[in-house]
A = this chain, B = another copy of it.
């Protein structure tokens, strides 16, 4: 496998030559029936409509050449088969395999990396057994009552993905089961969540891969104290999901323990036990299998070499076209589904933590743009908020719409001749067209320039299966882009400096708090800032 710099690829040169005059979406007749039919693909229950991207067959051929020259699919397949993709050549780095796909590689006889798939099966079996014990009354509280709530305590990858999925699938929740989340070290986060709970009927799922995450351990301690104050035994209520051998791997302190492995990055861990335990409590075991089946189907579909038949690859490359060739620095993800309200926040992490990098896999500074700023909110809400800028602002924002033909609950009503679901989907399609086509008008303030690139993802309904496919689709889009930019999408060295400085500032706060004065050593920016901030953090 060759890892070439992005700017050294011949296909990049070729694309650069056509990028100055991208396809004009406002040209009358361009958005024709043929174009809509041609620039469309299907995969795992989703259709991707990309006629409203600023590209044509020349660009698509160039993007195919880019995918081929950068060996994106080869690298993806190697990743699934256990290549050590999380590394920087020649420097100290994590040196790990990248095998989140193994979490769902449980449906075929010859998985991509059998050892990891076996561990996934093992953990799933343990989860199934635990859920069954809850079901049949083997595990109950001290009064013999069933548990009705699970609180997941985790942060970053141990929070955003699982939270987004739980919110997305609440419509399928089992009766009398609810989930909550505590992430922030802000003590008000735990206080607000715990205020509304009957602790005696609550399980707490503490999730930290390293078993050393400051926020999570602090919140675990807050929760344990709350149980003790309520006269309850924490060890009968608290579960752990952690790496084998981590400081949290101590089954005596927990009602149950589940494992994740060092080949699963936090932001890619939603289909591991990091997400599956709380999701399993909420939805039941069978629906977890549906979620995994959807993700696995997309894992397989991403091995296709033709970009017109590989949805995550197509999304990766159109993203690169918009970002590197058309020069657009951000990306809006706009689900027309209230259930996906926190999916953009999950993607924001998964994408920006993966591809917000400025060193190549060989440790050289990149000479091209890497990951964009990813953000978004559900439609139609956003239409009444930031869409003004999308249509008429000076910043051009590529948009990815996500919609479903049917609602989850099916509680709908016809008002003025149409259902809410019909209004919802009509609005999504309308926004895609409005951004692309624009509109001329004699009042300059009512003129729309158009040529705002976007695409639409459509499926029948948001279910565990389609949610799994959607999650994997975005995971792979991100990974393909990282390979193309020749960066390591699997580490996060950029979070370390803040931790170092926080430790120093915290030590100074503690010192000042105890002694009423700054430490005796010389001034430093930390002490100077702290003096101006006048912070102690004591109540």
Q: Are A356 and B424 in contact (CB under 8 A)?
A: no
Q: Are A537 and B406 in contact (CB under 8 A)?
A: yes
Q: Are A413 and B187 in contact (CB under 8 A)?
A: yes
Q: Could you name 21 residue pairs across A and B whose Cβ atoms are closer than 8 Å? A: A33-B523, A49-B533, A160-B385, A184-B380, A184-B424, A187-B407, A187-B419, A188-B338, A188-B407, A192-B338, A329-B395, A349-B385, A373-B375, A373-B389, A384-B495, A387-B498, A388-B495, A424-B537, A425-B537, A426-B509, A429-B529
Question: How far, in whole Å, are A70 and B100 apart by their CA atoms in the complex?
Answer: 55
A230 an interface residue at 8 Å Cβ cutoff? no
| Chain B minimum-CB-distance residue to A438 | B497
Residues of B with C-beta under 8 A to A392: 356-359, 493-494
Question: How far, in whole Å, are A417 and B221 apart by their CA atoms in the complex?
Answer: 13
Q: In the complex where A186-B424, A358-B449, A422-B537 touch, is A501 in contact with B430 (Cβ < 8 A)?
A: yes
Q: Are A377 and B348 in contact (CB under 8 A)?
A: yes
A446 an interface residue at 8 Å Cβ cutoff? yes
Q: In the complex where A184-B378, A533-B429 touch, is A218 in contact with B444 (Cβ < 8 A)?
A: no
Q: Are A405 and B458 in contact (CB under 8 A)?
A: no
A528 an interface residue at 8 Å Cβ cutoff? yes
Q: Are A358 and B394 in contact (CB under 8 A)?
A: yes
Q: In the complex, what's the smallest C-beta–C-beta distance from A165 to chain B, in angstroms?
A: 15
Q: Are B387 and A495 in contact (CB under 8 A)?
A: yes
A415 an interface residue at 8 Å Cβ cutoff? yes
Q: Are A430 and B502 in contact (CB under 8 A)?
A: yes
* A369-391 interface bits toward B, Cβ cutoff 8 Å, 1 = contact, 0 = none: 11111110111110111111111
Q: In the complex, what's the smallest C-beta–C-beta distance from A430 to chain B, in angstroms?
A: 4
Residues of B with C-beta under 8 A to A217: 415
Q: In the complex, what's the smallest C-beta–C-beta distance from A272 to chain B, in angstroms?
A: 16
Q: Are A353 and B389 in contact (CB under 8 A)?
A: yes
A431 an interface residue at 8 Å Cβ cutoff? yes
Q: In the complex, what's the smallest C-beta–C-beta distance from A384 to chain B, in angstroms?
A: 3
Q: In the complex, what's the smallest C-beta–C-beta distance from A133 to chain B, in angstroms?
A: 27
Q: Are A535 and B429 in contact (CB under 8 A)?
A: yes
A122 an interface residue at 8 Å Cβ cutoff? no
Q: For the complex of A and B, list the 6 residue pairs with the smallest distance between their C-beta atoms, beginning with the closest.
A: A356-B389, A156-B384, A422-B537, A356-B393, A349-B385, A430-B501
Question: How far, in whole Å, are A157 and B447 apart by their CA atoms in the complex?
Answer: 24
Q: Which of A8-16, A256-264, A304-312, A360-368 contacts B (4 or more CB under 8 A)?
A: A360-368
* A423-450 interface bits toward B, Cβ cutoff 8 Å, 1 = contact, 0 = none: 1111101111110011100011111110
